[in-house]
Amino acid sequence: MIVKENINNVCEFNFLYDNVEWGSYDKEVASIALKNTLYSVSVYEDNQIIGYGRIIGDGAIFFYIHDIMVRKDYQGKKVGTIIMNKLVDKIKEYKKINNGARIYLGASKNKEKFYEKFGFITREEANLGPGMIYQEK
Ligand SMILES: CC(C)(COP(=O)(O)OP(=O)(O)OC[C@H]1O[C@@H](n2cnc3c(N)ncnc32)[C@H](O)[C@@H]1OP(=O)(O)O)[C@@H](O)C(=O)NCCC(=O)NCCS
């Protein structure tokens, strides 16, 4: 297994999106999004992408962990753990600049247990509101 930083390859990103059944993005849309990534981790086996995760944010106060994806046939083999550990290490580096930085992630339903292992708690446990998402009428 090889772990690489800041690759942000649109085809690999869309491949994983499809593989985990989220549906892929328009190439141009994905390209803009990935260019604005602060930090990312790509995991390869036999030169093929098997996992990806990224951090977006303002680089000092707000950070958001997103798009943690492990190819279906590699799930449950700690690839997600490798990705999350690298992202959390990077977050710790950013926190040296501002220890009060806020780290968010939008866990999909029933994925909370996975993230708990890396120190994340639900907003409710942090005494915060459930959070909101914009929905166009
Ligand atoms: C969720 C996902 C990233 C986890 O990656 P993974 O490589 O399969 O997970 P790991 O093998 O590193 O598992 C680490 C631990 O988390 C637990 N875990 C993994 N997926 C879990 C899930 N869906 N629910 C609860 N616990 C989970 C594992 O049991 C393991 O626990 P252990 O350390 O006690 O053995 C991966 O399954 C995936 O890509 N799923 C589809 C896309 C997705 O839902 N991404 C998350 C979006 S919020």
End-to-end CA distance of the chain: 45
What separation in Å is there between the alpha carbon of 79 and the centre of ligand 1? 9
Domains of the chain as residue ranges with CATH: 2-107 (3.40.630.30)
Residue 72: predicted pLDDT? 98
105 lines ligand 1 (CB under 6 A): no
User: Mean pLDDT throughout 95-119?
Assistant: 95
Note every long-range contact of 89-94, with CB atoms under 8 Å and residues 24 or more positions apart, other chains counting: 90/39, 90/55, 91/55, 91/63, 91/65, 94/59, 94/60, 94/63
What separation in Å is there between the alpha carbon of 2 and the centre of ligand 1? 19
Asked if 21 and 29 touch (Cβ cutoff 8 Å), the reply is no
DSSP 37-89: -SEEEEEEETTEEEEEEEEEE-SSSEEEEEEEEE-GGGTTTTHHHHHHHHHHH
Structure-token pair, residue 95? 């926190």
What separation in Å is there between the alpha carbon of 131 and the centre of ligand 1? 23
CA distance 55 to 131: 19
Q: Which atom of ligand 1 is nearest to the CA of 77?
A: 11
What separation in Å is there between the alpha carbon of 16 and the centre of ligand 1? 15
68 lines ligand 1 (CB under 6 A): yes
Q: What is the pLDDT of residues 31-85, one digit of tens each?
A: 999 999 999 999 999 999 999 999 999 999 999 999 999 999 999 999 999 999 9
| Residue % of the chain over a pLDDT of 90 | 97
What separation in Å is there between the alpha carbon of 93 and the centre of ligand 1? 24
95 lines ligand 1 (CB under 6 A): no
